[in-house]
Amino acid sequence: MKPRRKWRGAVRSPSLRTVTEAHGTQGRRQPTSRGNAAGLNEIRFVDTTLRDGQLSLWALGMRTGAMLAIAEQMDRCGFESMEFFGFAGYIKMVREHKENPWDWIGTGAKKFRRTRLRYHGGLATGFEKIPGSVRLLMIERVVAHGITLTRSSDPWNDYEAAASEIKALRKLGMDVVINIIYSVSPRHTDAYYAERARQAAAIQPHRICFKDVGGLLTPERTRAVIGGPGVSDEELVLRVIAGEAVVKAMLATGAPKEYSTATQPLINLISELTQRRDCNRVFIQKGKLVLHIERRRRS
């Protein structure tokens, strides 16, 4: 059986008027894209090692001391942002590691002077039954430690429901990256994602993340969602880099026109005349156009 290819990278839907980023395999650096509505002009990276790598690859097994030891080196890597902590970390650190998660949040955050840190989760995430007032207090304390960016999801991609959460998080000083969760089913059509993208953009999040949590997104599916039927690999690359509108304008100009070459009659005539030794000047006239060629001696 031919192995499936996974598509990772930054994508922009023509329907979006905000920055998008792609999120795929856990614990990997995920590219983000920044640019205007016409296309992309930068690719930046968000590191997920300390949050998603810690959760998905190590079952939250890394202790505070181990993460503090590498924090300053990671800060120098040049990531635009770094996912730093999430809701599940509180329970694991207290119950199993016997460590205070606020020590990591407070001390760890001070290690990062160049990189904007991200929390993971909002006011309605997780499986624990925790009062809303406690969740508000939790986010308030995270912001107090200098972490002012989070990434949140609605499992149904319901952005009317997400709008109230984003509003509440903003009041606490937290910017929000909102996810569009990718899946495969008869319900999840191209039209579905186009509509969800418009709804997500309408609530004006800090970013929109096209989240392929299950590793289901292939280059072919990306072409269908981002490019459309009949779009080649080469054109898809150009659309992602430069934007759909710009690429369409380029294609409308047609194939490049060949410049004059030695095989054309006029060029061939001039070439032959310059080889003659019996004349020093050549005049070629056609209507008002006059071409004067003169042989000059080198001094």
Q: Is 77:277 a contact under the CB 8 Å cutoff?
A: no
Q: 20-252, what's its fold?
A: TIM Barrel (3.20.20)
Phi, psi of 156 (to 5 degrees): -100, 10
- Nearest C-alpha neighbor of 216 from the set 242, 245, 182: 182
Burial class (CB in 10 A: 0-12, 13-18, 19+), 182: buried
Task: Please report which residue ranges of 76-182 form alpha helices under DSSP H.
Answer: 87-92, 101-103, 109-111, 132-144, 159-171
| Contact criterion met (CB below 8 Å) for 175 and 206 | yes
Helix (H, G, I), strand (E, B) or coil at 90: helix
In Å, what is the CA distance from 153 to each residue of 45, 238, 244? 20, 30, 27
| pLDDT surpasses 50 at 225 | yes
pLDDT tens string 116-145:
999 999 997 666 678 889 899 999 999 999
Which segment of 9-13, 187-191, 242-246 scores lowest on mean pLDDT?
A: 9-13
Largest CA distance in the chain: 101
Tallying the residues shown for the chain, one arrives at 299
Return the exposure string of 145-175: e unless at least 16 CB atoms fall within 10 Å of the residue's CB, then b. Answer: bebbbbbbbbeebebeebbebbebbeebebb
What are the sequence ranges of the domains in the chain? 20-252, 265-294
Query: What is the pLDDT, as a whole number, of residue 63?
Result: 94
Look-up: residue for tokens 């910017």? 175
Put residue 197 in one of left, alpha, beta given phi > 0 → left and psi -120 to 50 → alpha.
Answer: alpha
pLDDT digits (tens, 9 = 90+) for 18-66: 344 655 434 444 555 554 444 456 778 999 999 999 998 889 999 999 9
- Dump pLDDT digits (tens) for 248-277: 888 898 888 766 665 677 777 777 777 777
Span 274-286, pLDDT tens digits: 777 777 787 778 8
- The model's pTM: 0.66
What CA–CA distance (Å, rounded) separates 173 from 141?
11
